[in-house]
Structures are given as C-alpha cells and as structure tokens.
Chain A
Amino acid sequence: MSKTTNQANLPALFFSFFKVGAFTIGGGYAMLPVIQREVIETRHWLSTEEFVELIAIAEMTPGPVAVNTATFVGYRTAGIPGSVMATLGVVLPSFSLILAIAVFFPRFASHPVAQHLFYGIRPAVVALIGHALYKLGRKILVNKFGYAVAFTVFLAQLLLGVPPIPTLLLAAGAGLLYHQANHGDAQKHNNEQKHDPKDRR
C-alpha cells in the first residue's frame, strides 16, 4: 500500500492543496477530479487504490472531504508538519475569498439590485438542497430500515425538537443493532482481519 507514497516537501504540499482549495467550486465531490490530477497523476503522493480508500474514510469521518484528504496526504508524505501545511493550503483560498466578501457584503446586500437577485436566488438555493436530498436519498435509502430511520429523524426533529447530535447518536445505536442482527457472521470474520498486522510504511 505504501509503495507509491512518495515523500513530499512542505511548500509543494501547501501549493498543491492551495490549488485544490481554489478550484473546488460547489464543494463535496466536485473537487475529487482536481485532487486526483494533482495528488495522484502529477505528484504521485497516493495510488488510485489509496485514494478510493481515503474517500471511504472521508465519508465515515466528520468534516469536508477536501480537508480530510489534505490532512491524510500531508501526514502520509511529510508527517505532522506536512498535514498542517496541506490543511492550511486547502482552507486558505476559501477563507480569504469569503473574508473579502464578508467585508464588502453588507453594502452589497442592501443594494436593491442585490436584493432582487437574491429574491430569485433564495428559492434556487432551496432547490439545491432539494436536489442534494434527492441524490443522496436515492443512494443511501436502500432498504426499509433506511427509510424508517430517515422519517423517524425528520419527525422527531420537526414535532419534538430533538437536537441533531443526540439524534445522530441514537441513529448510530440503531444502526449497530440492525447491523449486528443481520450480519452477525460477517463481524467475526472482520474482527479476525482487524488483528491481522499490516505493514503500512
């Protein structure tokens, strides 16, 4: 797994991930092709296989995929200083751009033209969220258990006002029970695999 993990110097890590951060419009999976070109094809810091594993890890851990990738690649190629430089690099473009907008935004937002623009943009943003819901829902809600959890969470929040974090923790518990009940044999097998010492470097 580590055969392709090349050493990297700190400025190269910073600038590569600065580029990734600067050209990732829309967030989420939009920046995967940019990362792929920069990190795999140009710099050879990761293999394609490692990249796929990294996306899975990014999905299972909190935080934006771009940040997860930067931290991971930075650490793998240049230790903790590397992870700091790569993460700084990926965050800096959006940080400085949004800061600039926030500084000039108050005047911009009160302008009548901007208000008319946002009259049209706000419903479209609601549509963006609807679209995300549609796409993610089709991918994630694959069985009755999924639908039951999604609707329970929706109703529990809407009607009872349960905060999101306890809701997610309860859902995690339900998922564990459901998974145990349906894949009990698979777990034994996986536990054996987990103890298998694997050399990474």
Chain B
Amino acid sequence: MRLFAQLFFTFFKIGAFTFGGGYAMLPLIQVEVIDTYGWLTLNEFLEIIAIAEMTPGPVAINTATFVGYRTAGFFGSVAATLGVVLPSFLIILLIARLFTGLTKSSWTKGVFTGVKPAVIGLIGLALWRLGSVTLTDYKTILLFLGALCLLIKGRLHPIPVLILAGLSGLLLA
C-alpha cells in the first residue's frame, strides 16, 4: 500500500511541475525515479524514452505506466498513471470553469518569463547527465553525432532516426 502511495505521489509531483510537456519533464523524472527511489537505472530510463518515442502517447504517461508496472505490477501502473494525469486534469478543469484570458495576465507572463528558460537549463542538465553515462567510447559518440545531424540538418522524424540507430547498433556492437 505504501508503494502505491509513493508511486501516486511521485508521479503527481512530476505531473504538477511538468510545464511545456515532452522533454521538459525528463529531468524531474530522472531525479525522482532514478536518484531518489532507484526504481529504474539510467539505461532502463533511456530505453523507456526510446519506447515512448516509438509508441503513441505523451512521454510522461508512458514513463508512469512503465515504472508503475515495473515496481508494483498492474495496480502500480494505474496508480502512477493516475498520479501523472491528475494535476493537469484538475488545473485545466479549474481554468475551463473559472478563467478566460489567463494567457493575457501580466502575472502569468512574468512567471513564464522565468520558468521557460529554467526549463531549458533543466533539459541541458538531463542531456549532460544522460550523455556522460551513454557516450563512453568513440562509437557511441559517433552514433550520437550522426543522429543529431539527421535530426537537425536532415529534419528526419525521430522514429526513422531511432530505427537507423538500432540497425547501426547491430552492426557496431
């Protein structure tokens, strides 16, 4: 029961502080799920991101479902997924009910003037941490640079890039 509560509240926290969605919440998941609770290793985390990219749905939900199942079975996955969805559900419900023109308020603009660049700093840190564990020899560095080139210069979709990288892994490993 304690594990279910821990899963629920951890992912509630992640859901509540994930502005902008997508990669913005990776640093927070990393701190909570890997550093604090040790529910996943860094390598498993990278595998989940790859799986999340290849399957439909938001990364936050994919991670919650996966981690929940790994740590506490089916009901663990329900607790974690509910936890990650509930904050945005409640906040949007409140906004839909009470506010219009929230986006024009000077307070929200001020808050986001600070929060948005901070999120960039957080993503930079996630990149640094995952990179220092993953890019350990010239082959992995080459794979990283090749993938980055295809994404930025080639404007390729993440899925073909991941497939190409997987095939290169088969050849290089």
Contact = CB atoms under 8 A, between A and B. Distances in A.
Interface of A: 1, 21-28, 53, 56-68, 71-72, 75-76, 80, 83, 87, 91, 93-95, 97-99, 101-103, 105, 109, 113, 115-134, 136-137, 140-141, 145-154, 157-158, 163-165, 167-168, 171-180, 183, 186-187, 190-191, 193-194, 198, 200
Interface in B61-115: 61-62, 65-66, 69-70, 74, 77, 81, 84-85, 87-89, 91-93, 95-97, 100-115
Nearest to B106: A187
A94 B65 contact: yes
B34 interface: no
A115 B173 contact: yes
Given A98-B61, A150-B121, 14 more contacts: A26-B53, A56-B103, A83-B89, A94-B62, A123-B134, A125-B50, A128-B161, A133-B124, A150-B124, A158-B128, A167-B122, A173-B114, A178-B110, A187-B106
A189 to B, nearest CB: 8
Contact of A61 (B92, B105, B135, B159): B92
Interface of B: 13, 15-24, 26-28, 31, 43, 46-47, 49-62, 65-66, 69-70, 74, 77, 81, 84-85, 87-89, 91-93, 95-97, 100-128, 130-131, 134-135, 140-141, 143-145, 147-148, 151-152, 157-159, 161-162, 164-170, 172-173
Contacts of B131: 126, 130
B108 A60 contact: yes
16 contacts: A28-B21, A57-B92, A61-B19, A63-B89, A98-B69, A105-B51, A121-B46, A121-B162, A122-B140, A124-B144, A124-B162, A125-B46, A125-B53, A126-B135, A127-B147, A154-B125
A120 B172 contact: yes
Contacts of A23: 56
B33 to A, nearest CB: 13
B101 to A, nearest CB: 6
Contacts of A115: 173
Going nearest first, the 9 A-B pairs with the smallest beta carbon separation are A120-B169, A175-B114, A94-B57, A63-B88, A153-B121, A179-B110, A64-B58, A171-B118, A124-B165
Nearest to A151: B121
Given A57-B103, A94-B56, A125 B162 contact: yes
A24 B56 contact: yes
B92 A172 contact: no
A95 B61 contact: yes
B122 A153 contact: yes
Contacts of A105: 51
Nearest to A64: B58
Nearest to A186: B106
A113 B31 CA distance: 30
Given A57-B103, A76-B96, A67 B85 contact: yes
A150 to B, nearest CB: 4
